Structure 1
Amino acid sequence: MNISLHGKRALVSGSTAGIGLAIALGLAEAGADVVINGRSQPRVDAALATLRSKLPGARVQGVAADLGTAEGVCALFQQVPQVDILVNNLGIFEPQGFFEISDEAWSRFFEVNVLSAVRLSRFYAPGMAERGWGRVQFLSSESALQIPAEMVHYGTTKAALLAVSRGLAETLAGSGVTVNAILPGPTRSEGVGGYFARLAEEQGVEAERLERDFIAEHRPSSLIRRLATVEEVASLSVYLASRQASATTGAAMRVDGGVVRSIA
């Protein structure tokens, strides 16, 4: 399959590392003009340098803005008034017991994981509909279907994204704009890798061992028995952004290594 996104402009929120950066690279490889985003200019500059080193000649732009706030989103809109492909990737996670999660933490997770995607979609999707073509994606998680006891607030926000995604798809029916959610399973992103590295240092063991133990203990239904790579998740995003995926909308697409025990 030859995926070409030449002539399309894409925005990937929270894309200076991990899954977001891998998606940005994949979209750029397919020919899209890509806007990456992070909270600080040094992080954005470093990500741009990485993309350009891996893909010389890539048409990439960076915008430093905290999209977990209304002010940051407005700042982005001023610099990027229109896109054809929107990937709502921005998200945070933090293992914490339910009874220890404060109101402040609940609000922060909702602002970053849900409202950032709502605000971006509300701004960009109408223009896509007017032009008769567009792609909106929400990075949810298998944790939306199997709420993890160790971070209920995270799972709740990822479940909310499924509702927003399906509702927006219904809203844009017949417009030429597709809206889908992507549900990664445990993935070796920068954040996850750093978390395991810190634990490994504290416990004096290898990070690889902790990853295997985590899958065995917390995600025993995994069929690949390992963490996914960010590139594996990005491949699904690039396909959903393509013209070939024009009949796929309103869907929750899993790239979870078979963690969710479901035939649907």
Structure 2
Amino acid sequence: MKIDLSGKVALVTASTGGIGLAIATGLAESGAEVILNGRSEASVTKAKEALAKQVPGAKVRTAIADLGSAQGVDALLKAASDADILVNNAGIYGAKDFYETDDATWENYWQTNVMSGVRLARALLPNLVKKGWGRVVFISSESARNIPADMIHYGVTKTAQLSLARGLAKYVAGSGVTVNSVLPGPTMSDGFAAMMQEEIDKTGKSLETVAKAFVMANRPSSVIQRAATVEEVANMVVYVCSKQASATSGAALRVDGGVVDDIV
């Protein structure tokens, strides 16, 4: 299968590192012009240089915007109004006891993880429907279905993304535009590596080894019994964005290594 996205413009939010940058790189490798998004000039410049090194000749734009507010989304849209592909990757996470999670924290997570996607989809979908082709992808999480007791606020936002994506897929039914969710499990992203750094320093073990131990201790239902790479997650997203994925819409596609223990 040869995925060719030449002539398409792809916006990947929060794409200066980790899963986001891997998705942007995969889309660029498939011929798409990519819009990288981050919250600082330094981060987007570094990401652009990394992508250009990985994909020589790639067409890359950058857009600095914090998507935790409507103003930030508006700023991003000024640079991305022509996007054919929208990958809603922006999100925040972190463990916090439910009793200690105040309204401000809930609101911050809701605005960043859910409303950024609502606002971008609301702005970009009309043009995609008019053109008769487009792809919208929400990067959710296995935590959407396997709600972590120490991150209930996070899990709720990830479940909301599944509802949003399914509803939007039905809203644009028959238009040639697809809307899907991709659910990663434990993944060796930049954030995960930072979380594991103390253990790596203490034991001298590799990230892969420490990540495997983490998965077996905290996600023992994993079928692959290791953490995924960011490229493995990106591969699924690139396929969902492809022309070949035209019959996949309204789906919640898992790249969780089998962590969620069911057959659906």
Report TM bin, short chain: over 0.9
Alpha-carbon separation, structure 2, partners of 1:99 and 1:198: 27
- Structure 2 residue 219 is the aligned partner of structure 1 residue 222: no
2:182 match: secondary structure: strand
What secondary structure is seen at the aligned counterpart in 2 of 1:153?
helix
- Does the 8 Å CA contact 2:139/2:181 hold for their aligned counterparts? yes
Q: What's the TM-score, normalizing by structure 1?
A: 0.96
Is residue 165 from structure 1 mapped to residue 176 from structure 2 by the alignment? no
When structure 1 is superposed on structure 2, of 90-99 and 129-138 the one drifting more is: 90-99
**Aligned mates of 2:51, 2:57 — CA distance in 1:** 10
Aligned to 2:29: 29
Cα deviation for residue 217 of structure 1 reads: 2.1
1:207 Cα deviation from its structure 2 partner? 6.1
Alignment RMSD: 1.2
Instruction: Tell me which residue corresponds to 1:7.
Output: 7
Question: 4+ residue stretches of structure 1 with deviation over 6 A?
Answer: none
CA distance in 2, matches of 1:6, 1:114: 29
Give the whole-Å Cα distance in 1 for the aligned partners of 2:121 and 2:3.
24
Hey, what's the Cα distance between the residues in 1 that align with 2:61 and 2:249?
28
Q: Does the 8 A contact of 2:188 with 2:211 survive in 1?
A: no
The amino acid across from 1:147 in the alignment is I
For residue 214 of structure 1, report the CA deviation from its aligned partner. Answer: 2.1
Q: Are 2:125 and 1:125 equivalent residues in the alignment? A: yes
Instruction: Give the structure 2 partner of residue 249 of structure 1.
Output: 249
Tell me the distance in 1 between the aligned counterparts of 2:97 and 2:214. Answer: 17
Percent identity at matched positions? 53
Letter of the aligned partner of 2:65 in structure 1?
Answer: A
The residue number in structure 2 matching 1:262 is 262
CA contact (8 A) 2:224 2:257 kept: yes
* Structure-2-length-normalised TM-score: 0.96
Count of aligned pairs between the two proteins: 262
Tell me how far apart the structure 2 counterparts of residues 207 and 33 of structure 1 sit (CA, whole Å). 35
Which ranges in structure 2 are unaligned for 5 or more consecutive residues? none
For the structure 1 residues 198 and 109, does the alpha-carbon distance in structure 2 shift closer, same or farther, using more than 3 Å as the test? farther
| Residue 139 in structure 1 maps to residue 129 in structure 2 | no
Q: Which residue number in structure 1 is paired with residue 47 of structure 2?
A: 47
Is 1:240 the counterpart of 2:234 in the alignment? Answer: no
Residue 169 and residue 257 in structure 1: after superposition, are their counterparts in 2 closer, same or farther (change >3 A)? same
Q: Distance between the aligned counterparts of 1:198 and 1:134, measured in 2?
A: 42
Report the more deviating stretch, 106-115 or 191-200.
Answer: 191-200
State the alpha-carbon separation in 2 of the partners of residues 91 and 167 from structure 1: 20
Q: CA deviation at 1:162?
A: 0.2
User: Within 1, Cα distance between the matches of 2:50 and 2:15?
Assistant: 12
Q: Is the 8 A contact 1:141 1:184 kept in 2?
A: yes
